[in-house]
Structure 1
């Protein structure tokens, strides 16, 4: 303020040599300095006004007796004061306007660069491939910084070289296969030093000029920055550089802009790398689970032990990254191990290979019941089969042995042999343990199956022998009754004995069927054929011509119901011969069976005779109430044991021939049949299932 007052006073007092232009310039500079010093304009104007007011008061005292001079003097002073105040305000306002314009330009520039960053971030998050993303990024950088070239190099850690991955258009003479070593060119220098590089003219430096001249157009202005991922440890991703065709000083803001983009690229590349690793791990896990599932399915679906163990040894090698594997089984004496399955071993060597319990890694694993891993252990172990094989000893270095255990019982072990001089990872070991469990289950299931099959075969032989002996005993009984029949002179007794012989021989034929078929079941048509043969031999009168038809019926009857059903069919056939065919010389008897929708089985005996005296449709509460003879009583009581019912009726049907009607196109012949029928619920024999041991 003193400077302002003094300048104004000097100009006022030196009337003849006053320089108004210099005064105005002084106050404009003072106004500009106010903005720079962040001072208030109104305070300076108020202070200048105070000086003017004080000066006016003094002039009034000096020229109070000379009014004319007072007016002239005050006019000149106020003119200088007004000019000074305006110049001070003008200087202040000019700087303020310049700052506002600069701020507005900076805001627009920041907004534009923010949009550029958003575009680049959008490229990184899009589904486009990496090369296209980098090309778009380089194009945006070149447009935003108004440069002719933007290049992005990636660093190869193994080969320690930089490889060009993207540019905004211009390509070096080597194309996209342009490679730089560390410290070579400006990109190699930035990668080696790990810090930004700003050069006004890259052509002036021989080391940088080699890369700058690698393009068809040499570039001078240069800014290059490293692309670094800052994670748990810093990792160089590559280098990003921009160049102009003319010398150029890049600003700090421009460098900050490229640094942000370098960070986006680094994160994008690292995320892609992590995604590939995760995706690869996921694919490997899926493959491992699928393999384990396939092995488990094979174990559950087949009892072929050799096939299962061969698959286990093969997959254990492939999934663990080893070269050879072997499954050892503990001998019954529990002293030695022999090979059950192997992968990558010599078949002749594996066939004769035996290891004592406690010897070698396999023997010690079986002895302790715990997994073990070792590297180059066979050099000092004379009992190891690898020790004496120079071919294997030069290729195998590490071994993993896992015991095969079922319910704390050790059955053997699985060994994985690898050429790597390091132990398997916990994940690889867990895979081998899983396969060991699968192998143990397969071996135990095979043993249980063989024991069960042997037991069933023994029981089957014994039961067939029992049926054979019962058949022989019944045949003896039938023979005695036949002798008695021939000796008697009473026709009624002879008839009764014939029926008894027929029943006994029917039972004998049934036991003969069970002695030659599955001891636990028999087909309906097989039972019917046996009974028809016996009945035809014993009951068919020689003067009658009776034809028999047994329709195919694959329904299988459990052994509990076979003998009962045989007696029932025998009685129904006997009734058809004795009563149905009593007054005819020729006829047909048909036996057929079928399964109904409600789970019941129906067995029918049809004859072409004259029919019964009355029909039976329902089974009574007391079987004797409906009995017209011993035969019907037997049928009713026997079928009642199976929870079934018996009926006897007359029905007109198309003529039956081998279970079918006449051929198409011919007129059907309607025949009256007498139908004796039994219906009973079918109880199927449940098949044995083999549970997997845990």
Structure 2
């Protein structure tokens, strides 16, 4: 103890020299500064007071905290501390050069102080780094969990679930991920300018799922109106927003509410998504970003659903247009009753174009006046004795120029317009489209459609009317040709071949329109369905091409099949597949009316064989054959694919809830032929002469077969 007192006394006597050594070691002009490592170290060493030692160690531990938080290097501080210790040891050796025992004890105390200081510094530094590692690990786990939640929400959004079920699962996933008590999703009705609750994970508000908020009302209405996020620590303390919270049976305080916006060509508000906690809460930036991502997923999902419905409606309309055009073409190809054909055209032109009335004018032989051949929605007394001079009224001007014309509210200013004489019609009609009836640049008349809308028809509607005008021209020309054939049988074949050629060209135009729509569509499903529609039209066109080059009133079954197989193999067989087609000879001759229907049936059966029968196979075989038995014509399309696990048979009155578009078309078309359709599996495929046709022994084939009564004409060609 006496020697210890000697150490403090000795150090106090030489304090100036010790400070100078530390100042030199630090490389500064003065010091050491109060509170610095050197200053703390010297005070604790000289005074040897436990309180000073405790203060020194606490300061060094706090210094380690700051060093880690600022990103400093621990080894640099330790090296500096060692430099101070070395300077003090060197100075003590000079001071106590004649007292070796005291020097040893003094240096031991200094090294002890150094060791505890380094430990305190390291302890403070390590505590921060350990906490950073824990925070980083926790953040990684939270991020992984959040990504899994987003993956779950995105997977549900892309599933086949309906929208309400998808939103309910999304709300539940958000509530679980953010550990909140309530998540609600509102959708915005642009027409009524209200928000309607669509999904929630917890209790329903008053009014249940019919709960609505007006724009600007409550926090949901505020977010919808402003189009920006809303964060409130305690929403119950805000009078403007508390009313919406009070609609729930429980009290909620912490609020985060974000708009659901689709950012396309123009921003469109989809709705609002809100989360609430029972305790006051401040949501983090990461939590806000998570809900923003979910809002984006919902917006894209809703927009995709809207586009799908829109595309689906367009597809149904296209199929309806195609079926109507096919009906008109079939009537034109199968009858010479001009009144029936033109009445059908005027009716369908109105239905497909969205107009209300239509009229077909024919140019008189003197080419000076027009008279009405057929009309829809007009007064029969008004148009019965109606004549319009060429160059007068929209119809007369269209015939004069040979070009389509459209006008809005022209009836009030055109004194020659026949509609002015009927106040009832003129008060309802506002726009008119007139299309000339042309055959080889010869004007036969015009087709006019009248609409109540005060705008011009679209380009697509104009194309449809133009198509019906072409059909009308063909029908009128067809009737004229028929009259001429009565005077000369030799001209009959030439004129009817021209008819089929024009029908083929019109169908090619239809195929071109559908092909254009397919290329513009962004949906692969829509493009595939339109491709099938194009194939059907081209198959019908190929059939008309066959009739245009063969006997115009009839055709062989195998010739029709070869045309269809040629078109289907080009349009429907994927490049990666190798399918062999075989059409067996069949000399059965059927009339032209049955040719077009049979062509469509064969097209559908070949298409089903490629798409379904040979699905999943890179190599396959399709065989088409026909035969006559007991006054019935049997046409089969067989493939060596896996085929269905069931047999189907459709008669005239059969019904099936599982039939697709292809089977539905086959059923209806077979009904037009007063026939039947069946689908079955056969283990041994043999030709008409009883020999196996597979080429490699017995095999299992899927056989699609249609049968219909044979209507014989004058002869059967071989």
Give the TM-score band, short-chain normalised. Answer: 0.5 to 0.7
Give the structure 2 partner of residue 57 of structure 1.
90
CA distance in 2, matches of 1:43, 1:17: 27
CA distance in 2, matches of 1:302, 1:128: 49
Give the structure 1 partner of residue 628 of structure 2.
none
The partner residue of 1:364 within 387, 392, 397 is: 397
Give the structure 1 partner of residue 161 of structure 2.
128
Give, in angstroms, the shift of residue 135 of structure 1: 0.5
CA distance in 2, matches of 1:335, 1:318: 31
Counterpart secondary structure, 2:438: strand
**Counterparts of residues 93-492 of structure 1 (less than 5 Å):** 93-455=126-488
Q: Deviations over 1:40-63 (max 9, x none)?
A: 111111111121112111111111
Give, in angstroms, the shift of residue 355 of structure 1: 1.1
Give the structure 2 partner of residue 637 of structure 1.
none
Shift of the 18–166 alpha-carbon distance from structure 1 to 2, 3 Å rule, reads: closer
Give, in angstroms, the shift of residue 297 of structure 1: 0.9
Give, in angstroms, the shift of residue 456 of structure 1: 5.8
Matched, 1:83 2:131: no
Give, in angstroms, the shift of residue 217 of structure 1: 1.1
> Residues 360 and 375 of structure 2 are in contact (CA less than 8 Å); yes or no, is this contact kept in structure 1?
yes
TM-score by length of 1: 0.65
CA distance in 2, matches of 1:218, 1:252: 24
Counterpart secondary structure, 2:420: coil
Q: Deviations over 1:574-610 (max 9, x none)?
A: xxxxxxxxxxxxxxxxxxxxxxxxxxxxxxxxxxxxx
Q: Deviations over 1:44-93 (max 9, x none)?
A: 11111121112111111111111222122112211111111100000000
Give, in angstroms, the shift of residue 686 of structure 1: 6.9
Matched, 1:73 2:88: no
> Residues 43 and 52 of structure 2 are in contact (CA less than 8 Å); yes or no, is this contact kept in structure 1?
no
CA distance in 1, matches of 2:436, 2:136: 77
TM-score by length of 2: 0.63
List gaps (5 residues or longer) in structure 1. Answer: 460-683, 689-694
> Residues 12 and 18 of structure 1 are in contact (CA less than 8 Å); yes or no, is this contact kept in structure 2?
no
Deviates more, 1:74-83 or 1:304-313: 74-83
CA distance in 2, matches of 1:319, 1:4: 92
Give, in angstroms, the shift of residue 15 of structure 1: 2.6
Give the structure 1 partner of residue 586 of structure 2.
none
CA distance in 2, matches of 1:146, 1:18: 48
Counterpart secondary structure, 1:261: helix
Give, in angstroms, the shift of residue 37 of structure 1: 1.4
CA distance in 2, matches of 1:400, 1:687: 48
Give the structure 2 partner of residue 534 of structure 1.
none
Q: Deviations over 1:245-273 (max 9, x none)?
A: 12111111111110010011111111111
Counterpart secondary structure, 1:417: strand
Give the structure 2 partner of residue 524 of structure 1.
none
Give, in angstroms, the shift of residue 333 of structure 1: 1.3
Counterpart secondary structure, 1:229: strand
CA distance in 1, matches of 2:219, 2:466: 54
Q: What is the total number of aligned residue pairs between the two structures? A: 464
Task: Name the larger-Rg structure.
Answer: 1
Give the structure 2 partner of residue 19 of structure 1.
52
Counterpart secondary structure, 2:455: coil
Shift of the 16–403 alpha-carbon distance from structure 1 to 2, 3 Å rule, reads: closer
**Counterparts of residues 15-54 of structure 1 (less than 5 Å):** 15-16=48-49, 18-54=51-87
Give, in angstroms, the shift of residue 14 of structure 1: 2.0
List gaps (5 residues or longer) in structure 2. Answer: 1-25, 27-31, 493-712
